Structure 1
Amino acid sequence: MTETNNSSPEYDVEIPSREQLLSLVTERPKPVPFDDFISHFKLDDERQQVGLKRRLRAMERDGQLVYNKANSYGLPERMQLIRGRIIGHRDGFGFCQPDEGGKDIFIPHHQMYSVLHGDKVLIKPAGTDNRGRQEGRVVRVVEPRNNDIVGRYFVEDNIGIVVPDDSRVSQDILIPDNDNMGARHGQLVVVSITRRPNRRTSPIGKVTEVMGDHMAPGMEIEIAIREHDIPNEWPEGIDEELAQYSEEVPKEAYAGRVDLRDLPLITIDGEDSRDFDDAVCALPEDKGWRLWVAIADVSYYVKPGTQLDNEAVNRGNSVYFPNNVVPMLPEKLSNGLCSLNPNVDRLCMVAEIEVGPRGKLKQSKFYPAVMNSHARLTYNKVKQILDGDKELREQYKDVISNIEELHNVYKALAAVRKRRSAIEFDTQETRFIFNAQRKIERIEPVKRHVAHKIIEECMIAANVVTARFIEDDDDVNALFRVHEAPADERLTNFRAFLAELGLSLSGGDSPTPTDYGKLLEEVKDRPDHELIETMLLRSMQQAVYQPQNEGHFGLALKSYSHFTSPIRRYPDLILHRAIKSILRKKEGSEEGLSGAWSYSDKQLDDLGVHCSMTERRADDATRQVDEWLKCEFMLDHIGMEFEGVVSSVTNFGLFVRLNDYQIDGLVHISNLGDDYYQYDNQKGMLIGENTRTIYRLGDNVKVRVKTVDLDERKIDLELINAESPTGKQRKNNSGKTERKRQQKGNSKPRSGKPRKRSKNKASSSNKGSNKS
């Protein structure tokens, strides 16, 4: 049936549109029987009645209407039905995330039998559970999850079973003998569901791809890509569009552009970076500086409506895994024409900014240009140059002045950042070092120094002036990077955590970035400062993309956008097109502004939601890979002892972050010694009933690695002893006796059976952080 008019091409008869049907149901005080539709719209032809029935079923399937037991059609909202997405939990229950926003609704075990994680459903609120959570009953699946399931294939009593790798899918999937594609016991496979689960039977599926052995190098990335439905194959037509571009900038592209090839622009990136989308230059001027931030002009090559653009929207952003990347754009662009490689001409969009002697951003202007990078520098080289390395200073003597002025600009901008009380974190990041077999050789800290901060401040300056530029135009809009103040519940929990450490956060119910800044300054010399910063980060809301500017709380800025990475973030590409659109309107010329585009409000709303989702999707996928790699690494450390700090307290135990590797593991409550422990939710601590021993956030502990479960991505620890932040030592009975060293390969099912789903245990992951 077509939805664009009232006729059905199949029957060549007139039937009401969805809008007309919804209007009738809305007007009626009660649900509408099928015969009432027929009489109201005078559908006498039998073909019209068949077409109507099919359209009503389609609307029912899409959740627009509900067919009730009285054989009538009603509106979901009038029946107190809520449409949302199912979020499964490893312990069998789940939640419904409402499409309209608001708190998730708890779905008990017995309601989860007939749904899968990712399904779109209609649910009916059904009171509250014993923990005060809103509970729901699944009424109907309106849109089954559309992505396949990755899992391990097992044969048990001659029956093929796939145990999903994603623990949010709690049902095992039955595989008929002729649908296993020859998969061997224990191999990873991709499964398509052929019969959905119900209250009495498990789902049935067929294997569509045999991925390989469980421990094969790189398998963790393949799993994450599929589980999170990350697009990683280029659709047909992309190669034809790319074929129009050579390896060099097209001659016609130079017209109308400012020639900056003599300006000593340089790129500063990591040692292993392959795409360079930003270049910078600073020259002294009137006691201040003139700062150029040149960004690859992706909008010239990727035009709206093309296959390249459609796929860039679909991906939303590049996804960076350890030693691997799923790019937003094909390599010919991301590592070629849109990468500001040294000593080659490249097209760019430029933010030229006047920076005052005290770091104030004064006048700024934007324009398309052509540039030629004078040097490809790394963060470490820049630091060494600033530290006086004679060899490097000689090698890069032509750009030394630029580097030193960039350093001066940074110091002025950093002073402004401090005055406005932007929240600055100094959390420890790590990176994996792989051997030739792509196994982790070691985990080492990432040292962030002045060179990183130089580029960060330059990029923030460009993002600020760009946001202001968009705000000043009444006709053209783009996406802003919005970071709202912490929500009430998170703020309350954070204050409770601080109180246990003898700390407090000023600002009452509405703390400002200044209040957070004071706290960070107060704790910077404490041994548990990293933990406090982590908890502060968790108290923050997640930054999003939206066309309504509501400021950036973390950076303490009234206006902020993302201008600096159109190679890897679609919102930046949207912004470049908007800038060109404004310039075209002001200058009345098309020269140099190819790719200009102005979006409607509806388009921007939809793109903001989509790009925020793809960013979260990428974060979840990379976090999953990190968890798996950390667990694989810790397999070689079973039985070893480590110092750590309690990073989280739950009703089932303590999460401990190992100091050496910044890896989290779980000390289950059963491994805390000879006592019964009760969880104090308000204070975030476990308290022994008899000994009154207390375990809380920030405790320094000594632990032993007990087991590692690759399937569940969990590291189990046992406590040897603990020390509170006040220095009082607490000996644990379980630490008095040496445990036998555990065997490797704990993740394998015993007797060839699928793993059991553990109860009350959560993944040993680092909790998510917000990005600026």
Structure 2
Amino acid sequence: MSVQEPDNQPQYEVTIPSRDDLLAVITSQLKPVAFEQLIAHFELQDERQHVGLKRRLRAMERDGQLIYTKANAYGLPERMALIKGRVIGHRDGFGFCRPEQGGDDIFIPHHQMYAVLHGDEVLVKPNGSDSKGRKEGRIVRVTKPRDEEIVGRFFIDHGLGIVVPDDQRIAQDILIPDEAKHGVREGQMVVVRITQRPNRRTSPIGEVTEILGEHMAPGMEIEVAIREHDIPHEWSQAVDSAMQQLADEVPAEAYKDRTDLRQLPLITIDGDDSRDFDDAVYAEPDGDGWRLWVAIADVSYYVRPNTALDKEALERGNSVYFPQQVVPMLPEKLSNGLCSLNPHVDRLCMVAEMRITSRGKLEQSSFYPAVMNSHARLTYTKVAAILDGDSKLRQEYQSVLTNIEHLQALFKRLKAARQRRSAIEFETLETRFIFNAQRKIERIEPVHRNQAHMLIEECMIMANVATARFIEQHEEAGALFRVHEPPNEERLTGFRAFLAELGLQLAGGDEPSPADYAALLSEIGERPDHELIQTMLLRSMQQAVYSPDNVGHFGLALASYAHFTSPIRRYPDLILHRAIKALLKKQQGPSQALEGAWMYSDEQLDELGVHTSMTERRADDATRQVDEWLKCEYMQDHVGDEFSGVIASVTSFGLFIRLDDLHIDGLAHISNLDNDYYHYDEKRQLLIGENSRTVYRLGDKVRVNVRAVNLDDRKIDLNLLAAESPDGKVRKADSTDIPARPGKKMSQREKLARGKLGKAKGRSADKGKSKTGKGKAKSSRTQSNKKKR
């Protein structure tokens, strides 16, 4: 992606109509327009113009802007009820088309998926609904085939080489001719380039472009995830050359025009295994308030706009953190060297200096380039111990102890202010993998946030708020805000239904405020299922994104928020630094310290917001995939073992259960529950046994054992041994909660069970029919403990 070249359309030797001009003409006509009509309309006499126009029209066809009809004319897809979207495959062979303009996905049946691959861009014609009520479509044309290579495992089947894709959304196996194997051995993981697209009669054909190694090799899960999610991971020759030209130390000319903060006892506080240090902090009392310095690595000085390094950083968008491995946004010479605020060395920085009142409110702020020298590299663990009175550490860090204590005192004011504005505070438990020498998981440990984590978080939030306000005050310099919109109606309705089953309520009506969520979190603090409720609350939220349009941050209860504090690992922060420098340069004039300043156009910021939000989601998806794989690998050694857990999700096909302590999810399939017919109540998220009347719902405590682990599918199968509600009781459904079997007349016994005859709920049968159930229930015809037929 380029921030300078928005249009990469092909160039022609002669003048031909633009895409916009062609669309305008075709739109103005009542029916599709023939090629000859376009020639006549634009008065194109030169034969070369005819050739150029035909090429442009074909390019517009490929991009889905036009459709070439059977009448040899060009029409508009939207006038033909065609929808442009991307194919989302499913492991069972069918798929969906996700419309480019938003809206519900369109179901694509099996026979329509034979000629397309997951990730293709297509035109789809809606074709009514299927038997399940889903909007169904027919693929008219592939407008843009997926260009990503495919990762999979190589096998030989009846003498024929095939690659089974690791991504199960690609249901077709890929045929590999002998001349395209390039030395791969059976069972190895490979990367494949498609050389011949699939059609209704033949599978796709490909060529092995890279042999990753053995299937179970340490680190293979990361290599697969990087390629499956198309994460850039190799530096170009141009970037390598740029790094070779950089000195190992800060260049002398870079000190010019910068504020000298080397005597200010700034410190960094990060994780034990961190290697790139973005931020340093220092605080001191100022009257009845506080003055806070947040110094951030000046990445923009080294990464100049539109250089090879900048384009590579933009393409990556952010660093991707895997267990024991990182794919950095910047080369190591910058991320761990020149830009990292390492202790006791001079480093360039951008500083946010803030005055904060005694009530934790931001009163004023200023920004300027500086040079600093970190006085100590501290960890969260050490700072927490120092604040708890560890005498040995307090003595070791005596020179910066006053700063640490001032930061703690300021943190208490900032936390109180956060609580007053009712920001939503989650205390979900995270885990980390502890590996042995063979890079196999030895154990899984919980990660507890301590006071030091929260201290740094509040300082960074304050700097991000100050920066967002600074940009808002100067409209001429745009940047990306970190925006978090309120929950939408559908998610809010689902979350309220979940709470109702637990006897809880979320205040605020159709538009609950952060204060309403904060009140709910306070109410559930002592409940044994509070972690599950917090997880469901998180699921009900929208995802935070980057946007040039500021709509505020709902979760933090802030009107303005932007990311300023991590330019080593996030491109939006680098954009913000450049914008700040551009404003300072406008106010102060040219300066060596303000090199790297840049003003972005509105169009560029729109594109950058979409792109950087995508790269963030891409990183999340890749790291989640690796986590799932590692958890499955770990659980292979625990098949048959028994665990306690909690029901984290209820579906029509079973229960997803989160194992206590390990925080690993597995599936207790409906066929592994007690022998019964089960009905799924979607509204209330319940599974109800038809005969036993046993109810399974979110939050129930369970005992399970591990039945099987499928590493290829990244799935853990569980047997449910026992279940009870959080209060220790086994739930039974009311007779009215169980719907009658569809299409079958009830027997006398079934009528009695449902209270239709005899006494039910204390009423005699002659006093009318009982209710048919509170929620709309879907019937599952799967019977437990019976094999699929």
TM-score, length-scaled by structure 2: 0.90
Q: Distance in 2 between matches of 1:39 and 1:253?
A: 62
Question: What is the match of residue 482 of structure 1?
Answer: 483
Aligned-partner residue type, residue 693 of structure 2 = R
Query: 2:726 matched to 1:725?
Result: yes
2:462 alignment partner, SS class: helix
| 1:32 positional shift | 0.5
Aligned-partner residue type, residue 33 of structure 1 = A
Q: Distance in 2 between matches of 1:356 and 1:618?
A: 38
1:557-596 matches, within 5 Å, as 557-596=558-597
Question: What is the match of residue 162 of structure 1?
Answer: 163
Instruction: Tell me if the contact between 2:295 and 2:350 (Cα under 8 Å) persists in the aligned partners.
Output: yes
Please list the CA deviations of residues 172-218 of structure 1 after superposition, one character each: whole Å capped at 9, or x if unmatched.
Answer: 11112222222222111111111111222211112111211110000
Instruction: Tell me if the contact between 1:359 and 1:416 (Cα under 8 Å) persists in the aligned partners.
Output: yes
Instruction: Tell me if the contact between 2:678 and 2:781 (Cα under 8 Å) persists in the aligned partners.
Output: no
| 1:7 positional shift | 7.9
2:553 alignment partner, SS class: coil
Instruction: Tell me if the contact between 1:478 and 1:578 (Cα under 8 Å) persists in the aligned partners.
Output: yes
Q: Distance in 1 between matches of 2:599 and 2:20?
A: 29
Question: What is the match of residue 675 of structure 2?
Answer: 674
Aligned-partner residue type, residue 264 of structure 1 = P
1:613 alignment partner, SS class: helix
Question: What is the match of residue 8 of structure 1?
Answer: 12
Q: 1:285 to 1:4 in 2, by over 3 A?
A: closer
| 1:660 positional shift | 2.2
Query: 2:616 matched to 1:612?
Result: no
Instruction: Tell me if the contact between 2:64 and 2:84 (Cα under 8 Å) persists in the aligned partners.
Output: yes
Q: Which runs of 5+ in 2 are unaligned?
A: 1-6, 733-779, 783-789
Instruction: Tell me if the contact between 1:6 and 1:14 (Cα under 8 Å) persists in the aligned partners.
Output: no
Q: 1:616 to 1:760 in 2, by over 3 A?
A: farther
Question: What is the match of residue 395 of structure 1?
Answer: 396
Please list the CA deviations of residues 423-445 of structure 1 after superposition, one character each: whole Å capped at 9, or x if unmatched.
Answer: 11111100001111111111000
Q: 1:398 to 1:506 in 2, by over 3 A?
A: same
1:69-468 matches, within 5 Å, as 69-468=70-469
Please list the CA deviations of residues 724-761 of structure 1 after superposition, one character each: whole Å capped at 9, or x if unmatched.
Answer: 23321379xxxxxxxxxxxxxxxxxxxxxxxxxxx999
Instruction: Tell me if the contact between 1:6 and 1:16 (Cα under 8 Å) persists in the aligned partners.
Output: no
Q: Distance in 2 between matches of 1:451 and 1:116?
A: 48
Q: Distance in 2 between matches of 1:532 and 1:5?
A: 50
Aligned-partner residue type, residue 486 of structure 1 = P
| 1:45 positional shift | 4.7
Question: What is the match of residue 654 of structure 2?
Answer: 653
2:658 alignment partner, SS class: strand
1:274 alignment partner, SS class: coil
Please list the CA deviations of residues 84-105 of structure 1 after superposition, one character each: whole Å capped at 9, or x if unmatched.
Answer: 1112122222222222223332
Among all aligned residue pairs of Structure 1 and Structure 2, give the percentage whose two residues are the same amino acid: 70
Q: Distance in 2 between matches of 1:206 and 1:557?
A: 52
| 1:14 positional shift | 4.6
Please list the CA deviations of residues 467-503 of structure 1 after superposition, one character each: whole Å capped at 9, or x if unmatched.
Answer: 0000000211100000000011111111111111111
| 1:8 positional shift | 3.4
Q: Distance in 1 between matches of 2:56 and 2:290?
A: 65
Instruction: Tell me if the contact between 1:6 and 1:17 (Cα under 8 Å) persists in the aligned partners.
Output: no
Instruction: Tell me if the contact between 1:351 and 1:365 (Cα under 8 Å) persists in the aligned partners.
Output: yes
1:592 alignment partner, SS class: helix
Moved more, 99-108 or 141-150: 99-108
| 1:605 positional shift | 0.2
1:461 alignment partner, SS class: helix
Q: Distance in 2 between matches of 1:8 and 1:577?
A: 36
Query: 2:629 matched to 1:634?
Result: no
Instruction: Tell me if the contact between 2:645 and 2:659 (Cα under 8 Å) persists in the aligned partners.
Output: yes
Instruction: Tell me if the contact between 2:677 and 2:781 (Cα under 8 Å) persists in the aligned partners.
Output: no
Question: What is the match of residue 503 of structure 2?
Answer: 502
Aligned-partner residue type, residue 442 of structure 1 = R
1:497 alignment partner, SS class: helix
Please list the CA deviations of residues 52-75 of structure 1 after superposition, one character each: whole Å capped at 9, or x if unmatched.
Answer: 322221211111111112221011
Q: 1:14 to 1:337 in 2, by over 3 A?
A: closer
Q: Distance in 2 between matches of 1:451 and 1:371?
A: 22
Instruction: Tell me if the contact between 2:284 and 2:291 (Cα under 8 Å) persists in the aligned partners.
Output: yes
2:274 alignment partner, SS class: coil
Aligned-partner residue type, residue 433 of structure 2 = F
Question: What is the match of residue 25 of structure 1?
Answer: 26
| 1:598 positional shift | 0.6
Instruction: Tell me if the contact between 2:262 and 2:346 (Cα under 8 Å) persists in the aligned partners.
Output: yes
1:8 alignment partner, SS class: coil
2:538 alignment partner, SS class: helix
1:325 alignment partner, SS class: strand
Q: Distance in 2 between matches of 1:703 and 1:606?
A: 48
Q: Distance in 1 between matches of 2:548 and 2:636?
A: 47
Q: Distance in 2 between matches of 1:48 and 1:453?
A: 65
Question: What is the match of residue 750 of structure 1?
Answer: none
Q: Distance in 1 between matches of 2:614 and 2:574?
A: 17
| 1:5 positional shift | 10
| 1:110 positional shift | 2.3
Aligned-partner residue type, residue 296 of structure 1 = A
1:381 alignment partner, SS class: helix
Instruction: Tell me if the contact between 1:189 and 1:208 (Cα under 8 Å) persists in the aligned partners.
Output: yes
| 1:44 positional shift | 4.6
Instruction: Tell me if the contact between 1:644 and 1:703 (Cα under 8 Å) persists in the aligned partners.
Output: yes
Aligned-partner residue type, residue 527 of structure 2 = R
Question: What is the match of residue 514 of structure 2?
Answer: 513
Instruction: Tell me if the contact between 1:63 and 1:83 (Cα under 8 Å) persists in the aligned partners.
Output: yes
Q: Distance in 2 between matches of 1:395 and 1:182?
A: 57
Aligned-partner residue type, residue 646 of structure 1 = I
Instruction: Tell me if the contact between 2:483 and 2:545 (Cα under 8 Å) persists in the aligned partners.
Output: yes
Moved more, 493-502 or 243-252: 243-252
Q: Distance in 2 between matches of 1:628 and 1:713?
A: 6
Aligned-partner residue type, residue 316 of structure 1 = G
Q: Distance in 1 between matches of 2:12 and 2:286?
A: 70
Aligned-partner residue type, residue 596 of structure 1 = A
| 1:620 positional shift | 0.2
Instruction: Tell me if the contact between 2:446 and 2:661 (Cα under 8 Å) persists in the aligned partners.
Output: no
Please list the CA deviations of residues 24-43 of structure 1 after superposition, one character each: whole Å capped at 9, or x if unmatched.
Answer: 21221110012212332334
1:161 alignment partner, SS class: strand
Q: Distance in 2 between matches of 1:400 and 1:15?
A: 71
Q: Distance in 1 between matches of 2:476 and 2:47?
A: 51
Q: Distance in 2 between matches of 1:216 and 1:68?
A: 52
| 1:659 positional shift | 0.2
Q: Distance in 1 between matches of 2:46 and 2:609?
A: 45
| 1:245 positional shift | 2.1
Aligned-partner residue type, residue 489 of structure 1 = E
Question: What is the match of residue 50 of structure 2?
Answer: 49
Greater C-alpha radius of gyration: 2
Instruction: Tell me if the contact between 1:277 and 1:296 (Cα under 8 Å) persists in the aligned partners.
Output: yes
Q: Which runs of 5+ in 1 are unaligned?
A: 732-758, 762-772
Q: CA RMSD of the aligned region, Å?
A: 1.8
Instruction: Tell me if the contact between 1:7 and 1:15 (Cα under 8 Å) persists in the aligned partners.
Output: no
Please list the CA deviations of residues 217-248 of structure 1 after superposition, one character each: whole Å capped at 9, or x if unmatched.
Answer: 00000000000000000012112222332111
1:733-772 matches, within 5 Å, as none
Question: What is the match of residue 556 of structure 1?
Answer: 557
Q: Distance in 2 between matches of 1:245 and 1:177?
A: 46
| 1:667 positional shift | 0.4
Q: Distance in 1 between matches of 2:8 and 2:323?
A: 47
